[in-house]
Structures are given as structure tokens and as C-alpha cells.
Amino acid sequence: MNPSCLQYSLTEEERRTFNETGYLIVEDALSPEQVQALTAETDRIYERKVNEGHDSKTALFYPNFIPDHERFLGLVDYEKVLPKVWGILGWNIYLYHAHMIVTPPSGQAKTNKTFGWHQDSGRVNVEMESHPRPRLSLKVAYFLSDLSVPDRGNFWIVPGSHLNDTMALPENREGQPEGAIPVCVKPGTAVFFDRRLWHTASPNWSDVTRKVLFYGYGYRWIRTKDDMTVQSLWESSDPIRRQLLGAGVNCNGYYSPTDADVPLRVWLKEHQPQAVK
């Protein structure tokens, strides 16, 4: 990993923003050329899935897309993003979940129904004995479409709700929770969000297709959330990328890692020792 990535390290202001609000917006994380290239590969996958029978009028949720193209793989340890991820979670991390979402125009009339608000991680939110619930993981969403205005299938959030274990919803299921806002961003923006942040997808009432790539990073002792097939990429990857793709020496190394398990820690000891605890 090139030490030049350290110029994108998490700043104290970014840390404060993430800790207080549960999310962080980084504009221009991707260049226009990157957006164009990633969009082309996303469109190729979407067309393939439609040809295989996916309903072109409904959103496509496509996990395990990393092996589909080198451009997707390159974002796993992307220099403008990974330093902020380890700045939040630390060095004992890997990519436990990845999914692509393509949301075409719904063709439906706009309504005021309450969206599907939730925290990520399913049973974790029932079975963990703590308050507030532990962070455990975060996602980075790379936006490929222009979502700078509402009603384009925008991701909605309630800032600061990551410290709340419950979310009060309107009793009549009309409207959204107090404080809810749509995330309106331009193409190339990366949005980091705490898995505990109450959030939801929303219908696409526009004529613009929404395209987003989600990269989920968590601690290495967390199981993968989808049937990832990235093991085939280990041999061709450098040590830090192998760690991020889930490689390890043995099972115990996910709980009590040696240097061989976590080359990211070894690298940080040399280049950013204050990040090693």
C-alpha cells in the first residue's frame, strides 16, 4: 500500500462528525472517469440479470459483485476511503459484505407511506446485550447516479439515531420519523455510515435510475453476510488486500491475530503507529 494514502486519513473533524451523526459524506471520492467506468460495469451486470429473468421494473439487489471486475476489486482497498475506514474501526477489519443496488424508475405515483426503516445486521440487534448497541461495522456507499435531489430512490437517514436502539414510527404509517432526511449527493460521492444508523431505501419516483455500490467493513471475527466468493482473488492480491478479502492463517487468528493474519497492522506500525492499539 502506498504511503500516499495517508493524506486521506480520517481527520478529527470527520471523526467527530461520524461519532455524533452516524454518517460522513465525502464528495468527489471517485473521479468522473471512475464513475463512468464503474457505471459501465454496473450496467453490464444489470443487463445480464434482466436477461436472466430479473424484472426490469424492480430494484436489483446484487451481492458478491467484487469478483465481477477488477474495478470493483480496486475499491476494496481504495486509497481515498480505506484510511478513513481503519480510522473508525481500527486494523482488525475485512470486507464482510458487499452489494450493488440498481433502482429503476418505479413508474408509480408518489405516496406518503412510511418507508422500511431499520438498523443493519439483523439478529445482532436482538441478541447483543448492550446499550447502545455496538458499532461492529460500517458501510461505504459509492454513488454512481445523480441523487442530488429527492425522489430518485434516495437513501434516507435519521442523523444521530445510531445511538438509539428503537425508532418511533408514525402510528398510521404515513410520513417518516422525526428528523428523517434524504441523502442527496452527486455522482462520485462516498457516504460512510454506522451500521446502527436508522436508515431506509425509498421508491424511485423520478426518471433517473439509481446506481450505488455498497462496501461493508467489519471486524474479522464477524461472519460474512452473503455468500462471498472472493477466495479466488487471494492468490493475486497483495497481503493487505488479502486480509480485507477475508484471508487468515487459522481460525484463532480472527480473534487473536498474529502479524501474519493482519498485515494492515504491520503496515500501520511503520507508517501510522498512532493508529495501532
For 38-53, the pLDDT digits (tens) are 999 999 999 999 999 9
Which sequence spans correspond to the domains of the chain? 3-275
3-state secondary structure of 118: strand
Q: With a cut of 50, which residues of the chain have pLDDT below it?
A: none
Determine the Cα–Cα distance for residues 173 and 115; give it in Å rounded to an integer: 8
Q: What is the dihedral of CA 23, 69, 98, 157, to 10 degrees?
A: 30
Cβ contact 184:147 at 8 Å: yes
In CATH, what is the architecture of 3-275?
A: Sandwich (2.60)
pTM of the model: 0.97
39-63 burial by CB neighbour count: b if 16+ within 10 A, else e? bebbeebbeebeeeebeeeebbebb
Q: What is the pLDDT of residue 203?
A: 97
